[in-house]
Amino acid sequence: MQLARHVISLSAAVILVLAGVPSSADQTPEHTDSFPTNAPSDGLRVGDPGDCPDPDLSDPGEGAITGYFNFYTTDMCDALETMQGIHDASGDTYITFGYRLSERSVDEADRILTSEGEVDPTFDCSEGDLSCVAAARDAAGDAEIRRVLTYSGSERFGSEMLACDDLDTEVVSGGQLFQRVLLPVGETGCEADTYDLVLIANGDPDGYTDVATMLVAADAFDIEMYPGIPRPDQDPDSPWLIDTSYLDTTTQFTERTLQDWESRYGHLDSYRGLYQSSEMLMKGNEAWDAQFDLYDAQHGAIAQHAPGRPILISPYIDGRPDMDSPISAVELFTERLVDSADGAHMILAPQDGRGTGKGGVYFPDQADDIVLERLQDVVGGALTYAEAFGGTTSHDYYEAALEGGKAAGGDSFELWANIELMEPSPLEGEPICIPGVDRGQTDSARVATQISVAGDLVTKFIGYDWDNAMLCEVPGNPTLAEQLAEDEQRPLPTGVTPEPAGTALLTGYHLEDIQGTITWFDSTGTEQSAEFAPATSDFLPDYGASRPGEHPVDLEAVRLRLNLDDLDPATPWISVDLDGPNGTIPYGTYRVEPGPATAECTETVTGEHSGPITLTSGNLCIEDAIMNGPVHIDVEGQVLIRHSTMQGPVTIRDATGVAVEDSDIRGPMRAAETSGPLTLQATDVHGPLVLNRYDSGSLGIHMTDVRVYGSLQCRDETQVAAEGLDIRGPVGGACQLT
C-alpha cells in the first residue's frame, strides 16, 4: 500500500506543470526570433516518469550514513535512479550545492564577456537588435544599471523571482530561453534609481527544471532535500573568502530565490531545508568576517522568507598545525554561526577531513605511527599522526562543536558529521574519482573507521558524495556503494561510556546478539580483559530513537559489566573486538578512550551527615561519606556507594543499577523494585540483605568479597554470582548462589 501511494503521488506530481498552469509549449511561439515571453512558469516543470521504473521502497538499507551530497539533473529517470540508489543505501537526505552568482564584464555592445575577453556563448542573448543587457537598460529607463551578473544555474524561476512587471521578463533568443531580473538597489519595491541585472540562461524553452526534478524524485522516496542557496564568487585577492563586493546583490537574489521556492515547492514534503554551500574553516576570528557577513545576510533571509526550514552548513576540519585552525577556535565559530541564523534551526555538519587528508582520523594507539603514504604529500612528509594533526582527531572537533553549539543555540542547534568518502589521490594506475580535485577511491573499512572515530556525539552521518565517490568504478574493485552494502550489517562501534554502577554502554550499529572482548592495561601495566555475550549483557535497540536530539535514531547500545577505574594513564584506551551474526568490525579492533558523559555523577554526596536523609537524582554517587542515620535513595538512574560508612538502614528503590564498593553498611540493606545489575564488592552488610522484586536482567547480581552479618532474602528465584561471599545468617530459598 505504501509503495502504491508513492507511485500514484509521483505520477500526479510530475506533470509538466501544476494544475492550471500551461506548459511551455503553450506559453511560447516558435523559437526563431528573439523576443520577450513575459510568461514565467509557476509550475513544476519536470518530465513524465511514465517510462521510468517504479520506485521500490521495500529495502531501505541498514547503513550508518543516511544522507548524501550530489548534483542536479533534469532527466526524471536519472533522478529517480539516483534516489533509488540512495534509498537502498540507507539514505533519507539529499543535499545539493548552490549555483554561483557572478559579476560580469560587457563589451561596447553590452554583450557579456568571458574572463578571456570573448563573448560568452552561454549568455549571448538578444532582444531584437539589442543585446539582453542593452534591452535591460532600455527597460530601466533613466535608472542606472550598476552591475551585470549571471547565474550559473539553469532553473526556470517563477513569478516570485520575476516580480517586477516591465523590468523582469523571459526572453527567447537563438532558440534558448533566458530570464532577466532587475534587482532594485536600496529599495524594497520595484521602483529605484539604480538596478543590478541578473541574467539566467535557462536553455531549451520546453526543457525541465533541475531543482524541481530532484525534489519530485526525492518526494517519491520520502527523501528530504536541502537545495543549495545561491553563492557569490570567491574573493580574487583572498580566494579562501567569498567576494563581498556585491553582497547586497547576492542577498536580494537569495531573498527572491527563497520566495520563489516557497511558492513553487513549499507543498512538497521533500523540500526540507536549505544548504549553505559557501564553505570555510571552523574559525570565527575577524579574518573571516567576510564569510560571516554572507552568513548573517543569507541566514537572516532564510529565517524571514523560509520560516521553519533548517539551515545546513558543512565547514571543513583542518587539523594540520600550520593551518592554525585549532580546537580552541571552534567555540567562537559556533557562536557566530548560531548567531547568524536569527533563530532558525542550525545544523552544523563538519567535513571530517579524512578524504582530503587534512583531518585526523586515527585511533589513540596510532598517535605515534607514521601516517599512510598517500597522506604524506598533504601533511608535509612522513610525520606521525600526532605530529601531522596536532594530536587532534575529528572526534575532538565534533566534541568542541557540540559543546559550543549547544551553549550558543540550545535545542536550535544540531550536530551532524560529513564523512568524506574518498582518498586525497588515487593509487598509481587507478582512475580519478572526483575530477577537478583528483580524489581517489576509498573502501568500506576506511569509512567504518571514520564513523567510529567521529563517535556517537552527532545525530546523523552524511557523506560526500554519491555520483563521484560512491559510484566510482575502479578496475578490479567493487564500487564503494557495493562495498558498504556488503558490510552494512556488520557491527560498528562508536563509543564506550562508563557508568557509575560498574557497567558501561557500548554504542554503535548492528550490535544485536554480539559477543566481544575488551582489553586494557591497568596502572601497573598489566593487561586486563573482560568478555561479554548476549546472555551477560543488555541489548538496547532503541537507544538512539529514545534520544533523537542526541544521537542518530538507528544508534543501538549494549550495557555490559565493565569497571575501568584503573586505566593506565600512559595508555588510557581500551581495545574492543566484536563478533556478531554478520561478522566482525570491518576494520578489525576498535580502540577508544572511554567517554566521560555518564560516568560523571549527577549528584555526589561526600563527608559526614547526621539524621535521616532522602536522596533523588539521575546518577547518584555516595563517596568517602559517613551517613549517620537511615538513608532512603529513590532514583531512576544508577547508584554508586564507594568508600563510605552507612550508620543505619539503606533502602534503594527504582534504580537502574547499583554498585557498592569498599563500604560498610551498618544496618539492613534493601533493594526494592529495582532493575539492572547489582554489584557488591569488598563490602560488609551488618543486617539482612533483602532483594525485593529485584530484576537484575541479563547482567545479573555479582557479589565479591562480601560479608553479610544477617540473612540474604530474595523474592522470586534470584541468581547471585558469588565469589568470597560470607553470609552469617540464613539464605532464603529463592536465592540461588552460583
Residue 15 pLDDT > 60:
no
268 and 247 co-located in one domain = yes
Evaluate whether residue 40 is within a structural domain.
Answer: no
Higher pLDDT, residue 324 or 32: 324
pLDDT band at 12 (very low <50, low <70, confident <90, very high): very low
Evaluate whether residue 244 is within a structural domain.
Answer: yes
What was the pLDDT predicted at 288?
A: 97
Evaluate whether residue 626 is within a structural domain.
Answer: yes
pLDDT band at 598 (very low <50, low <70, confident <90, very high): low
Q: How far apart are CA 216 and CA 16, in angstroms?
A: 11
pLDDT band at 5 (very low <50, low <70, confident <90, very high): very low
Lowest-confidence region among 410-424, 464-478, 580-594, 693-707: 693-707
Residue 23 pLDDT > 50:
no
Q: How far apart are CA 208 and CA 217, in angstroms?
A: 13
pLDDT band at 718 (very low <50, low <70, confident <90, very high): confident
- Which residue among 536, 561, 592 closes a domain? 592
615 and 554 co-located in one domain = no
What was the pLDDT predicted at 51?
A: 87
| pLDDT tens for each residue of 501-511 | 889 999 999 99
482 and 501 co-located in one domain = no
Ordered DSSP codes for 433-477: SBTTTTBB---HHHHHHHHHHH-SSSS-EEEE-IIIIIS---TTS
Percent of the chain surpassing pLDDT 70: 94
Read off the pLDDT of each residue in 263-287 and give the average, rounded to a whole number: 97
pLDDT band at 27 (very low <50, low <70, confident <90, very high): very low
| pLDDT tens for each residue of 633-659 | 998 888 999 999 999 999 999 888 899
pLDDT band at 3 (very low <50, low <70, confident <90, very high): very low
325 and 386 co-located in one domain = yes
The domain that holds 579 is classified in CATH as 2.60.40
- Which residue among 486, 515, 539 closes a domain? 486
What was the pLDDT predicted at 599?
A: 55
What was the pLDDT predicted at 8?
A: 33
Sequence-distant (6+) residues with CB within 8 A of 226 are 93, 94, 95, 96, 272, 273, 274, 275, 312
| pLDDT tens for each residue of 184-209 | 998 888 999 999 999 999 999 999 99
Read off the pLDDT of each residue in 20-49 and give the average, rounded to a whole number: 54
Residue 611 pLDDT > 60:
yes
pLDDT band at 685 (very low <50, low <70, confident <90, very high): very high
509 and 578 co-located in one domain = yes
pLDDT band at 602 (very low <50, low <70, confident <90, very high): confident
Residue 72 pLDDT > 50:
yes
pLDDT band at 601 (very low <50, low <70, confident <90, very high): confident
Residue 357 pLDDT > 70:
yes
Report which of 695, 661, 272 is spatially closest to residue 460, judged by C-alpha positions.
Answer: 272
- Which residue among 447, 468, 486 closes a domain? 486
Lowest-confidence region among 219-223, 445-449, 598-602, 678-682: 598-602
What was the pLDDT predicted at 596?
A: 64
Residue 492 pLDDT > 50:
yes
The C-alpha cell at 143 is 535608472
What was the pLDDT predicted at 188?
A: 83
Evaluate whether residue 715 is within a structural domain.
Answer: yes
Residue 143 pLDDT > 60:
yes
Ordered DSSP codes for 328-354: GGHHHHHHHHHHHTTTS-EEE--B-ST
Read off the pLDDT of each residue in 300-314 and give the average, rounded to a whole number: 98
| pLDDT tens for each residue of 525-554 | 999 999 999 999 999 999 999 998 899 999
Question: Is 593 exposed, middle or buried, given 0-12, 13-18 or 19+ CB atoms closer than 10 A?
Answer: middle
Residue 154 pLDDT > 50:
yes
317 and 345 co-located in one domain = yes
Report which of 426, 365, 434 is spatially closest to residue 393, judged by C-alpha positions.
Answer: 365
Higher pLDDT, residue 6 or 419: 419
The residues pairing with 173 across neighbouring beta strands, listed in sequence order, are 176
What was the pLDDT predicted at 6?
A: 38
Evaluate whether residue 587 is within a structural domain.
Answer: yes
346 and 218 co-located in one domain = yes
pLDDT band at 40 (very low <50, low <70, confident <90, very high): low
SS3 label, residue 626: strand
505 and 430 co-located in one domain = no
Read off the pLDDT of each residue in 588-599 and give the average, rounded to a whole number: 81
297 and 364 co-located in one domain = yes
**Is the whole model's pTM more than 0.85, yes or no?**
yes
Mean pLDDT of the chain: 92
636 and 733 co-located in one domain = yes
Evaluate whether residue 334 is within a structural domain.
Answer: yes
Percent of the chain surpassing pLDDT 90: 82
651 and 705 co-located in one domain = yes
Higher pLDDT, residue 13 or 156: 156
The domain that holds 86 is classified in CATH as 3.20.20.80
610 and 581 co-located in one domain = no
What was the pLDDT predicted at 35?
A: 47
Evaluate whether residue 194 is within a structural domain.
Answer: no
What was the pLDDT predicted at 695?
A: 79
Q: Where are the alpha helices (DSSP H) in 237-315?
A: 247-265, 289-305
Total domain count for the chain?
Answer: 3
Evaluate whether residue 644 is within a structural domain.
Answer: yes
What was the pLDDT predicted at 582?
A: 96
Angle at 518 between CA 517 and CA 521, to 5 degrees: 140
Higher pLDDT, residue 264 or 596: 264
Its domain, for residue 514, covers 490-592
Largest CA distance in the chain: 109
